[in-house]
Amino acid sequence: MNGVLRTQVGQLARRSVLRTLRQPAQIVPALVFPLFLLAVNSGGLQDATSLPGFPTDSYLTFALAVPFMQGALFSVMNAGTDLARDIETGFLNRLALTPLRGAALLSGLLAGAVVLGLVQASTYLVVGLTAGAELAAGVPGALVIVALSVTITVAFGAIGLFAALRTGSGEAVQGLFPVFFVFLFLSSMALPLDLIQSTWFRDIATANPISYLLEAFRTLLIEGWDLEALALGFGIAAVILVVGMLAASAALKTRLVRT
Amino acid sequence: MNGDGQAHRVAGFRAIALAVAWRSVHNFLTNPAFLLPALAFPLFFFVSFAGGLSAIANVPGFDFPNGYTAFQFVFVLLQSAAFGGVFTGFGIARDFETGFARRYMLAAANRNGILAGYALAATVRAFITWAALTTVALLAGMQVGGTGIDLFGLYGLALLVNLTAAMWSAGVAMRVRSIQGGPAMQFPTFLVLFLAPVYVPLSLLTGWIHAIASVNPTTALLEAGRGFISGEPTVVALAFAIAIALPLLFSLWARSGLKRAEAAG
């Protein structure tokens, strides 16, 4: 990265991080809502662990993977809504008058998502372990969980940027939340794939990449080190990130032409 | 003269209630951004819970006679009833933001009619959602053990839950008068619904969630609703006592919210 690009990314990253940290309305729901659902689901579904073949006797441990995904969904909205606001207020138009590079803009804007991802992952992990969840992979596993969580958060944030650049509307970005929630619910979120009885649901969950992201977290929490599951999880996150960034870059070019 | 005055007041109340309800329902039906989430969310929850968690019916001690689909249908029905009321609260908040609510206030001879109109709109919205939800549930093979009277009781409970949530949300919306009050309407509703025996019967819950669910009024509503659909009514008197008391209580909350909105101009 040359000096100019580094300066551009740095300035925008600083703005993105500060903007995220100064908006409790972005941070608090992203922390509280997933933890609330974790508490409710781990209490209500503890009996599911008595099903033959359930991988652990603690539903809390099994369910602890889910907040990391829900937190990533919030990053779609947060990153996207911030950029949409820049578009709506004309800030992006002003940036377009500067020699700023597209790559710098997108990378800088995702800095807020990185910080939020770190805060979220650490909080979920600490709260989960304090509440009694197990971590089979130990301290190194915790670091990998945080790394995977941040990668997924940034990848989903890139999709939020794409949505914002494509629509230019914060409301439209907010409207994406239910769509992503559908992906989460139609996955192995509540039960392992092989214990889902409805064939059609199991087929959808098997084809749903979210199931494999959840599985990557779960191997570290329940089994220890399963390199295949981890590679699949990081691989899917990387693909989402690359696709999201490419789509966002293309949408940025179109938007700058329009302006 | 007194009789004429009374008749005039009733006519004014009815006119404003019908006008507010018509506009709210019209907005709901003609704007896909309002209609689609209202229909899609309950269906999605139903599909997700009944489909993805059907193995829960094999948990030792789970003895609901009509299967997991019917078990979850009752929860999703009550949830859609509650959120139908909450979404109506969003509409009220939006009316305040756009200034339309102020015009209602100026035009209404009897402002209680405004509240009644929003409540009526919430009910119409809920019936539309329930029609879609029930159709999908029956197509999915839901087993219904209850008679027509039992089902009347089930939908009656849902209607009262819808009114409760509408009055709660109206009270919040009229105090905050901004869509920013949305989380204040939504989150407590979500909390009360999910701190109940959502996935398994109360007897299978353990620990802190059992303690909370045992005193959560939603539990009685859910148990009665599940009793109705299985044809084995249970805790009916308690459930209806709660379901009737709550909308009455929250209509006072909404009425005081209306007074605050009036005072704010």
Closest CA to B65 of B234, B236, B227: B227
* Best CA proximity match to B164, nearest among B74, B78, B39: B78
Is B141 at the interface with chain A, CB within 8 A? no
**The whole model's pTM is what?**
0.82
Residue type, B92: I
Is A224 in CB contact (< 8 Å) with chain B? no
Mutation site for B-interface testing, chosen from A37, A179, A197 by largest number of B Cβ within 10 Å: A197
Mean pLDDT of chain B: 91
Predicted local confidence at residue B143, as pLDDT:
92
Q: Closest residue of B to A203, CA-based?
A: B52
Confidence at residue B2, expressed as pLDDT on a 0 to 100 scale = 64
Residues B223-232: b if buried by 16+ CB within 10 A, e if exposed: bbbbbbbbee
What is the identity of the amino acid at A215? E
C-alpha A42/C-alpha B198 separation (Å) is: 12
User: Which domain range does residue A141 map to?
Assistant: 3-42+57-258
Task: In chain B, count H helices and then E strands.
Answer: 11, 0
Alpha-carbon gap: A134 to the closest alpha carbon of chain B (Å): 18
Contacts of A200 in chain B (CB under 8 A): 51
Say yes or no for a CB contact (<8 Å) between A43 and B208: yes
- CB spacing of B44 vs A182 below 8 angstroms: yes
Q: Are B14 and B113 in contact (CB under 8 A)?
A: yes
Domain-wise residue ranges, chain B: 2-264
pLDDT of residue A98: 81
Q: Which residue of A has its CA nearest to B207?
A: A43
Q: Burial of B264 by CB count in 10 Å (0-12 exposed, 13-18 middle, 19+ buried)?
A: exposed
Q: Which residues contact B85 (CB under 8 A, 6 or more apart)?
A: B122, B126, B161, B162, B163, B164, B165, B166, B167, B168, B169, B189
Instruction: Choose among B256, B218, B258: nearest CA to B239.
Output: B218
Rounded-to-integer distance, Cα B47 and Cα B30, Å: 26
Of A36, A44, A196, the CB nearest to B205: A44
The answer to whether the Cβ–Cβ distance between A190 and B53 falls below 8 Å is yes
State pLDDT tens for residues A43-97.
889 889 999 999 999 999 999 999 999 888 888 888 888 888 888 888 888 888 8
In a domain, residue A71? The reply is: yes
CB–CB of A17/A82 below 8 Å? no
Q: Assess whether pLDDT exceeds 60 at residue A259.
A: no
Does B7 have pLDDT greater than 90?
A: no
Nearest to A44 among B44, B62, B209 (CB): B209
Angle at CA of residue A68, ends A67 and A71, nearest 5°: 80
Please state the separation of Cα B197 from the chain's center in Å. 18
- Residues listed for chain A: 259
Average pLDDT over residues B88-93: 90
> Residue A197: its chain B contacts at CB < 8 A?
54-55
At B94 the pLDDT is 85
- Whether chain A has a CB inside 8 Å of the CB on B197: the answer is yes
Q: Has residue A20 been placed in a domain?
A: yes
- A136-163 pLDDT, tens digit per residue, is 999 999 999 999 999 999 999 999 999 8
A49 within domain boundaries: no
At residue A10 the predicted structure's pLDDT band, cuts being 50, 70 and 90, is confident
Task: Work out the pLDDT band at A9, boundaries 50, 70, 90.
Answer: confident
Examine the pLDDT at B55 and tell me if it is beyond 80.
Answer: yes
Instruction: Enumerate the residues of chain A whose CB falls inside 8 A of the CB of residue B52.
Output: 185-186, 189-191, 196, 198, 201, 205
Percent of chain A residues past pLDDT 70, beyond the cut: 97
Could you tell me if residue A239 is inside a domain?
yes
Q: Confirm or reject contact between B65 and chain A (CB < 8 A).
A: no
Under 8 Å between Cβ of A163 and A76: yes
Residue with tokens 């009374």: B6
Q: What is the DSSP string of A131-183?
A: TT---TTHHHHHHHHHHHHHHHHHHHHHHHHHHHHHH--HHHHHTHHHHHHHH
Of all residues in chain B, the one with the smallest CA distance to A197 is B55
* CA-closest candidate to residue A160, choices A112, A101, A208: A112
User: Is residue A50 one of the residues assigned to a domain?
Assistant: no
A43 to chain B, minimum CA–CA distance in Å? Answer: 6
Distances (CA, A) of B252 to B78, B122, B246: 22, 17, 10
Assign B8 a pLDDT band (cuts: 50, 70, 90). Answer: confident
d(Cα A113, Cα B14) in Å, to the nearest integer? Answer: 51
Indicate yes or no: CB of A195 within 8 angstroms of CB of B208: no
